[in-house]
Amino acid sequence: MKTRALYTGSFDPLTNGHMNIITRASKLYDELTVGIIANPSKKALFPIEEREIMIAEALSCLGNVKVDHFSGLLADFVNSHGFNVVVRGLRGATDFDYEIQMAQMNARLFNDQVETVFLMTDPQYSFLSSSMVKEVHSLGGCIDGLVPEAILKRMDEVLQKQA
């Protein structure tokens, strides 16, 4: 059976912590979809269409990875698209406490073919989150090496426009 994995998040913006999980998961599964969660009530730095383009560009070197977006219940997206693995990244105990609850709830909602799989973050990214890079960058701090270069360039452009 082909393994079709899904890795979801807001990715506003995609960080090198996300990139690390995506690169590793792409080696484990036949196909990996990066699913951007559309949450219209959350104010985002980048509109979802732009996130989709930027992420697809950042991942263009990975042949078995594609990008999609969805809204609503994760289990509905997973069951209706025939994914059999949902990948999550774990940075530490705080992620774990939240993730185990979500995985156990999802296990009730997913069809029987689906497993949630956790990949531990590379320690160099264990402190890294999208909200942290946004905050540091907006205050003029250096985030080199924490997000893909093309994404940093777009963040610089948005910051300059706001100034």
Catalytic residues: 18, 42, 91, 130
Contact footprint for ligand ADP (CB under 6 A) = 9-11, 15, 17-18, 21, 37, 88-89, 91, 95, 121, 125, 128-130
Distance of closest approach, residue 75 Cβ to ligand ADP, in angstroms: 16
**H or E element that contains 88:** strand 85-90
DSSP label of 124: G
Q: Could you tell me the strand order of the sheet in which 4-9 lies?
A: 65-70, 31-37, 4-9, 85-90, 115-120
Nearer to ligand ADP by C-beta: 1 or 78?
A: 78
Distance of closest approach, residue 125 Cβ to ligand ADP, in angstroms: 4
Distance of closest approach, residue 15 Cβ to ligand ADP, in angstroms: 6
Instruction: Determine the straight-line distance between the first and last CA of the chain, rounded to whole angstroms.
Output: 52
Distance of closest approach, residue 128 Cβ to ligand ADP, in angstroms: 4
62 burial via Cβ count (<10 Å: 0-12, 13-18, 19+) = middle
- Cβ atoms of 122 and 20 closer than 8 Å: yes
- Give the list of residues 6+ apart from residue 87 with CB closer than 8 angstroms, or none: 5, 6, 7, 21, 25, 29, 32, 116, 117, 118, 119
CA distance 35 to 20: 16
